[in-house]
């Protein structure tokens, strides 16, 4: 497998604060690679170090097999970046903005015109091409921001939380677009603290905290290491104490809580928890109004590893 980005023993400090702590990383060609972590975990700093925007104390960064430096223009030619904050000109229209940023990479006017039209269609901003950014909604502005970063069809794309404060419709459009970019051959590095986006998008992901990568793998691989199993919730009235004790004694049940007509059962990992509970209720003819099961999430894994939530804003 061809490696598009290789980071070795990277260290970045802000005075006494270690922002990136001896970090190693490899990103493979053609994958969507997710960097998941809470705010302040070092995701954006890592991206900026990879892009040589930031100076770092120690380590090596290679892109396309070559050392990445501020003046490595032949490498920059094939990189696209979509920042967290929209980086567009308020005075220029949607079309002009995309044409301007595309023109920093593509000098041939005819080629550029084609690329700009393609990306406008890709982000579905056709009817807004003459609008200025201030006239666009938050979601449309994010799509414009995305278009400006990818119009030149880069081989490697860095997307730094591109869906923050975006409406669900625009968010879905952006996520579908990112998958399409991957399918067309681009390698994508995607940073976010939205775990559901990572689960939906990423072929592989790393969970970061305090400048370190805690774990890397596919979403399923990471969830599989969780020490907790699924969570089963049952809405039922007047559950007797004897039933609670019997349920707790089941081999698949880790722990349970009952209150306000809701029974919450934490199951042991790799057990058929939901089935056991259903069988018990049926066998004892206990009425229930609702039952649901939730598999462990990346957040649960993160919580287990670090003791804190992935999304500190929820």
Partner 1 sequence: MFKHITKYKTLALVKDQASLFWTLFFPIVLVTVFYLAMSGLLSSDMYQFDPIAVAVVTEDAKQEDLEAFETFLDYVGVPGTPGEDDGPLQADADPEDAYIIYTKVDPDEARALLDKNQIYACVEVGETMTMTAKNARNSSNWRNGSVLHALLERYAQVKNTMSSIGKMAMTGAIRPDPDFGDKIRQAFESDAGLQEEDRGTKQGDVLIYFFALLGYLTIFPMSTTVLSVAEIEANQSPRAARSWLAPYPKWKRFFAEILPVVVLYSILNVIIYYYLGALGVGFGSQTGYILILLLLGTLTGIFMGTAVGSLFKGTPGIKTALGIGLPLAMGFFSGMMAAEIRKMIKDSVPFLHKINPVALVTEGLYSLYNYSTLDRYFEIVIRLSIFLVIAIVLTIIGLRRSNYESL
Nearest to 60, CA basis, from 8, 103, 97:
8
User: Of 145 and 206, which CB lies nearer to partner 1 in the complex structure?
Assistant: 145
* Site track for partner 1 across 32-71, x = CB under 8 A: ----------------x--xxxxx--------------xx
Binding region for partner 1 (CB under 8 A) out of 89-97, 188-196, 197-205, 299-307: 89-97
CB 264 within 8 A of CB 223: no
Q: How far apart are CA 262 and CA 303, in angstroms?
A: 24
Q: How far apart are CA 309 and CA 151, in angstroms?
A: 35
Nearest to 106, CA basis, from 143, 154, 60:
154
Classified as helix, coil or strand, 110 is: helix
User: Of 52 and 231, which CB lies nearer to partner 1 in the complex structure?
Assistant: 52
Q: Shortest approach of partner 1 to residue 42 CB, angstroms?
A: 13
User: Of 73 and 237, which CB lies nearer to partner 1 in the complex structure?
Assistant: 73
Q: Shortest approach of partner 1 to residue 186 CB, angstroms?
A: 16
Angle at 87 between CA 81 and CA 92, to 5 degrees: 125
Other CB atoms within 10 Å distance of the CB of residue 314 = 8
User: Of 93 and 293, which CB lies nearer to partner 1 in the complex structure?
Assistant: 93
Q: Shortest approach of partner 1 to residue 89 CB, angstroms?
A: 5
User: Of 65 and 282, which CB lies nearer to partner 1 in the complex structure?
Assistant: 65
Classified as helix, coil or strand, 157 is: strand
Kindly list the residues in this chain that would bind partner 1 in the complex (CB under 8 A).
14, 48, 51-55, 70-71, 73-74, 76-77, 79, 81, 83-92, 96, 99-101, 103-105, 107, 148-149
């Amino acid at each position: 497998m061809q490696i598009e980005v290789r980071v070795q023993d990277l260290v970045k400090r802000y005075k006494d604060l270690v922002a990136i702590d001896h970090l190693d990383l490899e990103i493979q060609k053609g994958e969507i690679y997710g960097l998941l972590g809470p705010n302040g975990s070092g995701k954006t700093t890592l991206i900026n170090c990879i892009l040589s925007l930031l100076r770092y104390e120690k380590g090596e960064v290679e892109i396309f097999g070559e050392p990445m430096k501020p003046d490595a223009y032949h490498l920059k030619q094939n990189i696209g970046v979509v920042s967290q904050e929209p980086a567009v000109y308020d005075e220029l229209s949607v079309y002009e903005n995309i044409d301007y940023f595309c023109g920093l990479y593509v000098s041939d006017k005819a080629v550029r015109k084609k690329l700009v039209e393609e990306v406008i269609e890709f982000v579905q901003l056709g009817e807004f091409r003459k609008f200025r950014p201030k006239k666009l909604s938050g979601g449309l502005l994010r799509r414009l921001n995305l278009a400006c970063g990818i119009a030149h069809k880069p081989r490697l794309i860095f997307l730094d939380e591109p869906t923050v404060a975006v409406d669900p419709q625009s968010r879905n459009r952006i996520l579908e677009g990112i998958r399409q970019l991957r399918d067309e051959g681009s390698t994508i590095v995607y940073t976010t603290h939205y775990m559901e986006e990572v689960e939906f998008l990423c072929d592989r992901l790393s969970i970061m905290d305090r400048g370190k990568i805690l774990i890397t793998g596919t979403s399923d691989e990471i969830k599989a290491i969780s020490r907790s199993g699924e969570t089963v919730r049952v809405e039922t009235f007047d559950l007797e104490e004897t039933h609670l004790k019997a349920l707790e004694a089941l081999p698949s049940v880790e722990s349970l809580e009952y209150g306000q007509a809701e029974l919450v059962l934490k199951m042991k990992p790799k057990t058929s928890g939901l089935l056991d509970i259903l069988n018990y209720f049926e066998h004892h003819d206990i009425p229930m109004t609702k039952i649901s099961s939730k598999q462990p999430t990346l957040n649960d894994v993160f919580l287990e590893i670090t003791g804190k939530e992935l999304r500190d804003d929820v």
